[in-house]
Structure 1
Amino acid sequence: MRNLILGAALVTASLFGMTAQAAEPVASDQYTELSNPVPVSVPGKIEVVELFWYGCPHCYSFEPVVNPWVEKLPKDVNFKRVPAMFGGPWDAHGQMFLTLEAMGVEHKVHAAVFEAIQVQRKRLTKPEEMADFLATQGVDKDKFLSTFNSFAIKGQVNQARELAKKYEITGVPSMVVNGKYRFDLGTAKGPQGVLNVADYLIAKERAAK
């Protein structure tokens, strides 16, 4: 399986050591403009997508950085997470995320799932295993399993796979602004750099309206 977790450029030092970035990102260095823009999910709003995987330690480390930023986003910005689907545990974890989102409980257990996989070293790759753990977090086990195996969720899994292809991501976490611009921890030079690039591109898209 392709190693889509960012490599040596994304060691812990780069995750937490680079907090000051240039005021204005340089396109060739810090973000890529997609040749084929992807339609946004909520027309009229500036969309920010984070592609992630519960099994990615860099995604887990990015959580305490991105979450406070998301909470302060203005009303004209729509933030959404999309699970990266590249087979094996990526698909299992992605389907779990989409199921929890469909049930309306993802925001309540997202942190706990990350903690279970990254800190407690639970695999959570089988539906029953997922359901047993989520039951400890107050999620109805039977409802989770029926939703997980539903036709609607399978359709969303296919959509997530297609989005990852259209965004042309090569690592996670990756961000995409308004279906046009892609960047990640490596290109943006750290987690704070990612937020700086995102802020710049949001302002760029707002000014273009």
Structure 2
Amino acid sequence: MRKLVISAVLAAASLFGLPAVAADYQAGKEYEVLSSPVPVAEPGKIEVVELFWYGCPHCYQFEPVINPWVEKLPADVAFRRIPAMFGGIWNTHGQLFLALESMGVEKQVHDAVFAAYHQERKKLATPEEMAEFLAGQGVDKDAFLKAYNSFGVKSRVEQAKKLGMAYQISGVPVLIVNGKYRFDLGSAGGPQGALDVADFLIEKERAAR
């Protein structure tokens, strides 16, 4: 009888998408341990990095799932996005993101850039095309072009390339927790699964302090 009750609870939890028991995720299964830990940007905080590309449909679909989660992160967790740099348009879009971030308007227009690519079919393949689109979002065209072509942003592009290599990524979206653990939507069991794995690893790092 006890086994039947437990089975019923597990079945109900599965049906309604509720966690029946605390998950015990395993390295090599839901996530990978990086062979060489990567330094975090804010020492003293548990860092969560999302690597993405504006042209990635899975990244676009992940946005409405990850954004509410990010907003509720506790004070000891720092979240940052890093564009994946695999060459060509990936690098162009990565430079776009880093330029917006340097201007302090990334949060204002991030969702609009995603929507422009996936809903409006705007490729945003050149700085001029980007500037024209961003002007409609309230971003000054000349200021954007200056930022996009600046030495500072180009330096950050190179840093992003190095980080992507250090994280040993081969696709996106990918999450990195505290420079130690890497996982994606596939290994974690989907968008919500990725956040559950992230929560598990955040707690793992917090407990290790």
Q: TM-score, normalised by structure 1?
A: 0.90
In structure 1, stretches of 5+ residues that fail to align are 1-18
Match of 2:56 in 1: 56
1:200 equivalent to 2:200? Answer yes
**What secondary structure, in the 3-state scheme, does the structure 2 residue paired with 1:120 have?**
coil
Secondary structure of the 1:93 match is helix
Of structures 1 and 2, the one scoring higher in RCO (CA 8 A, sep 6+) is: 1
Q: TM-score, with normalisation over the residues of structure 2?
A: 0.90
Does residue 134 of structure 1 match 2:134? yes
**Correspondence for 2:72:** 72
Q: Deviations over 1:119-175 (max 9, x none)?
A: 111000100000000000000100000110000001000000000000001210000
Q: How many angstroms does 1:200 deviate by?
A: 0.4
Q: CA deviation at 1:38?
A: 0.2
1:26 lines up with 2:17 in the alignment: no
Runs of 4+ displaced beyond 6 Å: none
Partner amino acid for 2:37?
A: P
1:46 aligns with 2:51: no
Contact 1:174 1:184 in 2 (8 A): yes
Specify the code of the residue in structure 2 equivalent to 1:48: V
Counterpart residue identity of residue 64, structure 1: P
Q: Which has the larger radius of gyration?
A: 2
Classify the secondary structure of the residue corresponding to 1:95: helix
d(CA) in 2 for partners of 1:121 and 1:165? 30
Q: 5+ unaligned residues in a row in structure 2: which ranges? A: 1-16
> For the aligned residues, what is the CA RMSD?
1.5
Tell me how far 1:55 sits from its aligned partner: 0.1
Aligned to 1:118: 118
Aligned to 2:8: none
**CA displacement at 1:24 relative to structure 2:** 1.8
1:93 matched to which residue of 2?
93
Task: Indicate conservation of the 8 Å contact 1:20/1:193, yes or no.
Answer: no
* Secondary structure of 2:188's aligned partner: coil
The CA deviation string for residues 35-74 of structure 1, in whole angstroms up to 9 with x for no partner, is 1000000010000000000000000000010000000000
Q: For residues 169-208 of structure 1, what are the structure 2 equivalents within 5 Å?
A: 169-208=169-208
Distance 2:151 2:116 in 1: 27
Partner letter of residue 170 of structure 2? T
Aligned pair count? 193
Secondary structure at the counterpart of residue 85 of structure 1: coil
Q: Distance in 2 between matches of 1:24 and 1:128?
A: 49
Alignment identity in percent? 66
Structure 2 CA distance for aligned equivalents of residues 146 and 166 of structure 1: 29
Give the CA deviation at 1:20: 6.0
